[in-house]
Amino acid sequence: MRETRQVREKTSKRFSMIILLAAILLTVGLPLGFLQFESSKTGKTWSQIIDKLFTRKGEELTTLDAPRGKKIDFLSPRPIGEPFTKPPMISNLQAVDLDKDGLLDVIVCDALNNKVTWIRQFPAGAYTEHALGDIILAPSHVEAVDFDKDGDLDLIVSSLGMVFPSNDKIGSIIILENDGRMNFTKHVIVDKIARASAVTAGDLDGDGDLDLAAVQFGYDDGETRWIENLGNWKFESHILQSLSGGINCELIDIDGDGDLDIITLMSQEWEEIYLFLNNGKGGFEAKLVYGSTNEDFGSSSISLVDLDKDGDIDMLYTNGDAFDYIPPRPRPWHGINWLENKGNYKFEFHRIANFGGAYGARGLDVDGDGDLDIVAVSAFNLWEKPTTQSFIWLENDGKMHFTSHDIANNPTHILCLSLGDFNNDGQIDIVTGGMHAYPPYDRMARVTLWMNNWRSAVK
């Protein structure tokens, strides 16, 4: 009897140990396994993942606004392109001399009419809009580049499939091939993918032809991919990351090794900027270069520019996305930021100015003093308040201190901008696009060209 009890107790102890060990292993092992898997998927370090998980609403909330300066009327706005009867939804545009006639044109993504259009400047100062190619559902980004190297500019387009959220695989990447006579043939490079939000071209594998890098916003399921050009309009996709919310994708040789690296901006709840370091042969290593601790930060765009003119490329970074608020409202932490390149893939966050609904910013020497100022637009500001600005510029004092100046409160809902000298007067003009997806609909514009008259304005 006693022996049986001893055996039972021994067995019991053994099973206790097994269960206890299993419990400890699972308690510790599961989170560690998840961490390692996430790290291997995204290129984040464990500490970056942990920081993200346990830090809420961080440094961006405590930054100071830029001082306000007086308004200088140096931009003369004029609508260009087709008139509109419904609230316009311009998702992207680029100032480019598409027909190479020496006059800058504008290529436009019209998400309302589901087409890519060309606002041609000819003769000088006269603008006529032409639709290019077939219907492209909710085009989100367009870039002119001589993709097939035949001497004319082709158009690389990303398509969301629809503007509003969807997890369905309705996105696509398209190239509109220019035959040299401004007739465009549509090549679907990849379709039936999560909503594609940006695409850019560059030789990513060093084989001499142009490849593509793209981000797909999706909604819950998104991706970052590079698309290898196999020649003869054949392509092969390589998935780099499976995060949703990608909105910007830029190519730059960040490490100076002679190949192009990829920088992506992920919005949604990630609010992160990733660098994909190229090994020269199309092999990429992911690195997280910036991540907001505020999961509601509203990342809306990045623009690569050497803002401090120290010889390396910094990032102008706006956060003002409010598509996910109903009604869309600016948030106190929305604004314009500078990510200063400190070398070794480290970028230091600097708040430049608060700007509700900030959606795009570009570096531009507005006042001709040799340093780069900033022009910025807002898509989601307090439009019910008539004085609320949709367009501002930030004057740089040369020491990276900025003063905010109003430009315009009309039109509202400006989502995108592009720079270029449209009248060849040596002053950079600005073209903007309006995304009037939400009310109020009282100050609307589709494409607006803002002619720069700085010299005469400050005389």
* Binding site residues, other proteins, CB under 8 A: 5, 8-9, 11-13, 15-16, 18-20, 22-23, 26-27, 30-31, 34, 37-38, 41-42, 53, 86-87, 89, 112, 114, 135, 137, 162-170, 191-192, 194, 218-222, 241-244, 269, 295, 326-327, 436-439, 441
Is the Cβ of residue 41 or residue 342 nearer to other proteins in the bound state?
A: 41
Show the tokens assigned to 41: 């998927």
**Distance between CA 231 and CA 340 in Å, rounded?**
38
Q: What CA–CA distances, in Å, run from 66 to 337, 351, 355, 376?
A: 11, 9, 10, 13
Q: Which is nearer to other proteins, 268 or 341 (CB)?
A: 268
Nearer to other proteins, 352 or 447 (CB): 447
In the complex, the smallest distance separating the C-beta of residue 429 from other proteins, rounded to whole angstroms, is 28
- Side chain identity, residue 311: G
Q: Pick between residue 136 and residue 361 the one whose CB is nearest to other proteins.
A: 136
Q: Residue 182 phi/psi, 5° resolution?
A: 65, 25
* The residue type at 370: G
Give 26 or 124: the residue with its C-beta nearer to other proteins. Answer: 26
CB of 18 to other proteins, least distance (A): 8
List strand residue ranges (DSSP E) for 51-126, in order.
Answer: 75-80, 90-96, 105-110, 115-121
State the nearest-atom distance from the C-beta of 242 to other proteins, in Å: 4
Residue pair 296/61 in contact (Cβ under 8 Å)? The answer is no
Whether the ω angle into residue 386 lies within 30 degrees of 0, i.e. cis, is no
Contacts 24+ apart (CB under 8 A), 208-212: 209/149, 210/145, 210/147, 210/149, 211/282, 212/156, 212/173
CB of residue 413 to other proteins, shortest distance in Å:
10
User: In terms of CB distance, is 88 or 356 closer to other proteins?
Assistant: 88
**Cβ atoms of residues 395 and 364 within 8 Å:** no
Nearest approach in angstroms of CB 330 to other proteins is 17
Closer residue to other proteins in complex, CB, 20/457: 20
DSSP string, 279-341: -SSS-EEEEEEEE-S-TT--EEEEEEE-TT-SSS-EEEEEE---TTSSS----TT-EEEEEEE
Work out how close the CB of 231 gets to other proteins at its nearest, in angstroms, rounded to a whole number.
Answer: 27
Could you tell me how far CA 415 lies from the centroid of its own chain?
11
Least Å from the CB of residue 7 to other proteins = 12
